[in-house]
Amino acid sequence: MHHFAYRDGALFAEDVDLREIAEKVGTPVYVYSSATIERHYRLYEQAMASITPGRKPHVFYAMKANSNLGVLKTLAALGAGADTVSEGEIRKALAAGFPPERIVFSGVGKSEGELAFAVEAGIYQVNIESESELDLLSRVGERLGRRQEAVFRVNPDIGAGGHAKITTGSSANKFGVSFEDVHRLYARAANMAGVRIMGLAVHIGSQIRETGAFEAAYAKMRDLVLALREEGHRVDRLDLGGGLGIPYEVPRDFDHGPGLIEAYAGMVGKLTAGLDVELGFEPGRLIVGNAGILLTRVLHLNPRPTKQFLVVDAAMNDLMRPAMYEAYHEIWPVAEPAPGTAAVAYDVVGPICESGDTFTTGRELPQQKPGDLIAFMTAGAYGASMSSTYNQRLLVAEVLVKGDQFAVTRPRQSYEELIGTDRSPPWLS
């Protein structure tokens, strides 16, 4: 469920008319709904709390999905933690008010500088992905006089996900240490002064819409926890990653309840029963995915003998998912179509100079004209956070709505910011 709906003939975000945002902020612009973010966070947190009686589950929001300051502050205020993957993300999480003891640091390529920053900041946990990283982290910890708490991210050789490019858990993927290696690494780490291993982590992919692959991977993790304990190791934490998917193709009146979250929680509860570990989770898309839309204006219609191009002012640099993963996003016109309005099949494209800048082909929409507003739905996750300035287009603006208020939480980049940060080489200046 989300809080974008038609009211008095126009699409609203909560109690704000999207036409007003388009007029005041311009387009393209991302619009996020606080109520939707809150709803999804609470649903998720409560479902996981129900399987960890007596303990609070650690929900580390994967901020790569949407790192807008307003979105981060909303989640920090709800008590969420943050899953980060770079020094920039750690800095931004801290700036948004996530306390260091609720921050985890994941990723296959952490540099010495980034690890030192994380250790000095006093973050909760580093998710180690290789032996080389283990050595580096311990050296950094020792140098700083700290013993950094960490877990090993294990590659379970069970991959899943909505697209090959977002599958991470297969042994062909670059992520994590192998099941075989983790025993030896645990033993080695026991003698290291700069790191304290607290347990294990796993993340198998993204946009996964059924529980089967998670179940297979988590069953392997359970066995691994027990085997490591047999060897005398301490395994107090199990970070189960993110990856639960969301419905992108939904009819306008579809009410999707918390079915998948509950099924997932039930499965996790069963598999971790009696294991006596602190559970952690890293959801991203599920929290923010359908809490955001990309609002764009029709620039031109370009009819051809066999098709009709609808050229809008958003492009692949603003929303990369269709070009990169053939991703589907619903398109809703901002003006509510009158019943019986004739539909036209459009190829919806952006202004960028390559054919990949296509959001969809042959999509039936009510007849459009230049100046009309349309919304790409379910664009709250991996939308603005993957945007760029390709074609020297300005970084897209972002707006957060709460009830009848809205605020620009990232103004559109200016041309001064776009051009003014480049430097001329001395031999050309």
Using CB under 6 A as the binding rule, whether residue 282 contacts ligand LLP is answered as yes
User: Smallest distance, Å, CB 283 to ligand LLP?
Assistant: 5
- The residue written with tokens 């909560």 in the block is 14
Using CB under 6 A as the binding rule, whether residue 177 contacts ligand LLP is answered as no
Residue 306 burial by Cβ neighbours in a 10 Å radius (0-12, 13-18, 19+): exposed
Using CB under 6 A as the binding rule, whether residue 156 contacts ligand LLP is answered as no
Using CB under 6 A, which of the segments 95-103, 138-146, 187-195, 237-245 binds ligand LLP?
A: 237-245
User: Which CB atom, from 309 or from 328, has the smaller least distance to ligand LLP?
Assistant: 328
Amino acid 82 reads A
Using CB under 6 A as the binding rule, whether residue 6 contacts ligand LLP is answered as no
Residue 347 main-chain phi, psi, to 5 deg: -95, 115
Residue of 284, 292, 333, 380 interacting with ligand LLP (CB under 6 A) = 284
**Binding-residue total with ligand LLP (CB under 6 A):** 20
Using CB under 6 A as the binding rule, whether residue 329 contacts ligand LLP is answered as no
Residue of 14, 38, 83, 133 interacting with ligand LLP (CB under 6 A) = 83
Near ligand LLP in 395-424, by CB under 6 A: none
Using CB under 6 A, which of the segments 94-102, 240-248, 364-372, 401-409 binds ligand LLP?
A: 240-248
- The residue written with tokens 């709505």 in the block is 401
Contact 294, 321 (CB under 8 A): no
Say if residue 28 is preceded by a cis peptide, omega within 30 of 0. Answer: yes
Interatomic CA distance for residues 403 and 231, integer angstroms: 54
Strand 308-312 versus strand 292-303 pairing type: antiparallel
Interatomic CA distance for residues 401 and 421, integer angstroms: 31
| 218 annotated as belonging to a binding site for a ligand | no
User: Which CB atom, from 173 or from 308, has the smaller least distance to ligand LLP?
Assistant: 173
Using CB under 6 A, which of the segments 30-38, 192-200, 282-290, 397-405 binds ligand LLP?
A: 282-290
Which of 172, 342, 353, 428 is flagged as catalytic? 353
* Buried b or exposed e, range 87-125, using 16+ CB within 10 angstroms: bebbebbbebebeeebbbbbbeebeeebbbbbbeeebbb
Structural Rg of the chain based on CA atoms:
23
| 282 annotated as belonging to a binding site for a ligand | yes
User: Smallest distance, Å, CB 51 to ligand LLP?
Assistant: 18
Residue of 285, 329, 402, 410 interacting with ligand LLP (CB under 6 A) = 285
Using CB under 6 A as the binding rule, whether residue 242 contacts ligand LLP is answered as yes
- The residue written with tokens 């490591």 in the block is 228
Residue 90 main-chain phi, psi, to 5 deg: -60, -45
Using CB under 6 A, which of the segments 235-243, 247-255, 337-345, 372-380 binds ligand LLP?
A: 235-243
Using CB under 6 A as the binding rule, whether residue 377 contacts ligand LLP is answered as no
For every residue of 86-112, DSSP letters joined together read SHHHHHHHHHTT--GGGEEE--S---H
Strand 4-7 versus strand 195-201 pairing type: unpaired
Using CB under 6 A as the binding rule, whether residue 378 contacts ligand LLP is answered as no
Three-class DSSP category at 61: strand
User: Smallest distance, Å, CB 366 to ligand LLP?
Assistant: 28
Using CB under 6 A, which of the segments 238-246, 268-276, 357-365, 390-398 binds ligand LLP?
A: 238-246
- 99: Cα separation from own chain's centroid: 20
User: Smallest distance, Å, CB 23 to ligand LLP?
Assistant: 29
353 is catalytic: yes
Residue 284 tokens, joined: 């991203």
Three-class DSSP category at 32: strand
User: Smallest distance, Å, CB 286 to ligand LLP?
Assistant: 6
| 285 annotated as belonging to a binding site for a ligand | yes
Interatomic CA distance for residues 276 and 260, integer angstroms: 25
Query: Annotated catalytic sites, by residue?
Result: 353
Residues that bind ligand LLP (CB under 6 A): 62, 65, 83, 106, 166, 168, 203, 206-207, 241-243, 282-286, 321, 325, 382
Binding-site residues for substrate sit at 285, 321, 325, 354, 382
Binding-site residues for pyridoxal 5'-phosphate sit at 243, 282-285, 382
